[in-house]
Structures are given as structure tokens and as C-alpha cells.
Chains A and B, each alone.
With several copies, the nearest count.
Chain A
Amino acid sequence: MTEQTLTVRFFARLREELGTEQLTMPANEEQTAGDLLAELASRGGPWAQLQGSQPVMIAINQAMVKPAAVVKAGDEVAFFPPVTGG
């Protein structure tokens, strides 16, 4: 049996403050992006900010989603601060 995983990516301030650009996490059944965020926040330290006062934006497979969006094995999930281009 292959382990079911998903890829998590961080950008900009989050990438820097977490010291993490990308990680692989086990994919659970009926898991939302918000659940993932809570799981990562529970690591404490800088990770706690994922559920802090600063907004965190979420993309699944490179499309913006709400925290209630379901994540599946093989997905690329990204967390990042509000965008500031242009």
C-alpha cells in the first residue's frame, strides 16, 4: 500500500518565518485546507501564526480556495500572506 501524501508550500513572509518552502504531509480522508492549517499551527512557535490574527490565503492546485475546501492525496496546497504585486 502506497502512502497517500500531499505537498504543502509556503510563500513570502510565511516561507521566511517558518523557514520552510515546502513539505510533504500525510493525506487524511475528509480533510479540509482549514484542518491542515490547524494541524500545522499546533506545531507551535512560528507555526502558531497560521491561526493567528494575520490572514492566511490558501490555494489548492494553484487556485485560490476558502478554508472549507477539501484537500486530497496528491494535491498541492499553498499557504501565503495576502498578495501585494502590481
Chain B
Amino acid sequence: MISIQTEDFDTASEYTALRDSGAGTGAIATFTGLVRDHGDTQDVSGLFLEHYPGMTEQVIAGLIEEASRRWDVRKARVIHRVGRLLLREQIVFVGVCSAHRADAFAACEFIMDALKTSAPFWKKELAEDGEHWVEQKASDVARGEAWDK
């Protein structure tokens, strides 16, 4: 299940839903991304997140499908916030429930890495001296490509 939303999310209820994934569940891996309180520049007070409605959901659904082909995935959940976010707020949640821990870890990390390079979200940092768009990191591109090997 995929949610793109301006509201915050509750990881506790997400975990409960993942855990209730029927027979054979043995492993739940989750990842939560937060707005770090010092970004690429100083004096950042928050972020603004823009996305491409419709395409975002399609891309993430494709990533979950690919993860499910490559690993045992009983349930996967992705939440990504958009709009204005303050420092330390939650941005993104990826949770995967699997029979085995290796699959849970791999699928969760794959979805998160691939999301960073293929899902149409853009971050703008809001600072005292104005706003500026965040540039894509080469390390993120490299991590995304590593899964193709």
C-alpha cells in the first residue's frame, strides 16, 4: 500500500498492520527518514517537498512489484510526505514483512534506495536567506544502480 500525504504518519500503527500479515511471517524491517536538523546548508528551518501526483504512486508500485519478484515479500508499505516539513519531522516510511530476515532487509533497502532515484519527489530547503532546491547526490545514484548488478 502506498500513501503520498501532507499529514504526519504513525509508525506504530504501520508496524501493527505489517505484523498482521498472515501465516509464515517471521521478519519485519522498517525504515523511517527524518528531516535532519542540519541540511546541505546552514540555517535551514525546514523543507518543502513537491511531487508529481499519479506518477509517484505508479513508480513506487513498480518498485514494490520488483521487490516482490526478487525477494519474499508478504506485505510492503510506503508512505511519503509532501508539502512543508519542519526539522526532525518524519518524511518517509518503508516497511516490509517477510518470512525471512534477509528478504525483509533487502526488499526494504531496495525500495528505499530506488525511491530516492526514481520516484518524482523534489526537496527544497527553506533557510533564512531564502529557499533553494536540493541537488541529487551522486551517492544516491550509485546506491540505486548497485541493485541492478
Q: Which residues of A contact B (CB under 8 A)?
A: 9, 11-13, 15, 59, 62-64, 78, 80-86
Q: Are B52 and A59 in contact (CB under 8 A)?
A: yes
B80 within 8 A of A: yes
Q: How far is the CB of B78 from chain A (nearest CB, A)?
A: 10
Q: Are B122 and A85 in contact (CB under 8 A)?
A: yes
Q: Are A11 and B120 in contact (CB under 8 A)?
A: yes
Most chain B CB neighbours (cut-off 10 Å) among A9, A62, A81, A83: A83
Q: Which residues of B contact A (CB under 8 A)?
A: 33, 49-52, 54-55, 58-59, 80, 91-92, 101, 112, 115-124, 133-136, 140
Q: Are A62 and B52 in contact (CB under 8 A)?
A: yes
Q: Are B122 and A80 in contact (CB under 8 A)?
A: yes
Q: Are B119 and A83 in contact (CB under 8 A)?
A: yes
Q: Are A85 and B52 in contact (CB under 8 A)?
A: no
**CB neighbours of B115 from chain A (8 A):** 85-86
Q: Are B92 and A62 in contact (CB under 8 A)?
A: no
Contact of B112 among A78, A83, A86 (CB under 8 A): A86
Tell me the bound Cα distance from A62 to B123 in angstroms: 19
Q: Are B52 and A84 in contact (CB under 8 A)?
A: no
In the complex with contacts A59-B52, A62-B54, A62-B55, A83-B120 CB distance below 8 A: yes
**CB neighbours of A13 from chain B (8 A):** 122, 133
Tell me the bound Cα distance from A62 to B133 in angstroms: 22
Contact of B51 among A9, A64, A85 (CB under 8 A): A85
Contact of B55 among A15, A78, A81, A84 (CB under 8 A): A78
Contact of B122 among A59, A62, A64, A84 (CB under 8 A): A84
Q: Are A63 and B121 in contact (CB under 8 A)?
A: no
**CB neighbours of B58 from chain A (8 A):** 62-63
- Among residues of A, the one whose C-beta sits closest to the C-beta of B124 is A12
Tell me the bound Cα distance from A11 to B117 in angstroms: 16
